[in-house]
Every structure is written in C-alpha cells, then in structure tokens.
Amino acid sequence: MSRAIKSECSVCGATFVSVAAFDIHRVGSYLPRSRRCMTVNEMQAEGLIQDDKGWWGFDPAQSRPSQTDLATCYSQAGRQQKGSVSR
C-alpha cells in the first residue's frame, strides 16, 4: 500500500493510507454525535485490510471504489441527515 497520504482517526485512533479508506470507515448520519467508526469486521467487509504496520487501506489485489462509488456514498450520507439509515 502506498504511503503518499496518511489519515489518522481522532476517534478510534486507526491510521489509514488514503482519505477514501478513512472516509469509508466513518458511518452514520452527520447529525451531532450520530457518526461512528466501523468495527474491524465492518471495515474488512468493506474491503479494507491492515498492512504490516497496522494501517488500513484497500487491498491492491481487489478493485478500489471508483470516484462515482464514493460520490454515491457521500450523496447517500447527505440524505441520512434527514433520517436514520442503518448500515
């Protein structure tokens, strides 16, 4: 995994090798105190893996989410502000 960008979550302390990997691990509505970090099992189900340093990122052998996939994710998250959607 590339080390060009590193993101560390101030909530759970996990380190991510990309902003996209970091963004995927945060779920829930954007209302105050309604977002949370995914569990390890949830992150693995989303295709995130840990490298030898314990940093999370996408498996290079697997396809990564496209910009369209991420835009859809962000769009759906915006709609969640008006109602709760479980993930």
Lowest-pLDDT range of 54-58, 66-70, 75-79, 81-85: 81-85
Please count the structural domains in the chain: 1
Confidence (pLDDT) at 2: 47
* Residue range 39-73, pLDDT digits in tens: 999 999 989 999 999 999 998 877 666 555 665 65
* Residue range 8-21, pLDDT digits in tens: 999 999 999 999 99
Is residue 86 included in any domain, yes or no? Answer: no
Is residue 20 included in any domain, yes or no? Answer: yes
Is residue 87 included in any domain, yes or no? Answer: no
Range of the domain at 75: 7-80
Query: Under a CB-based contact definition with an 8 Å cutoff, are residues 69 and 63 in contact?
Result: no
Tell me if the pTM is above 0.75: no
The sign one gets for the Cα dihedral 77, 79, 82, 83 is: negative
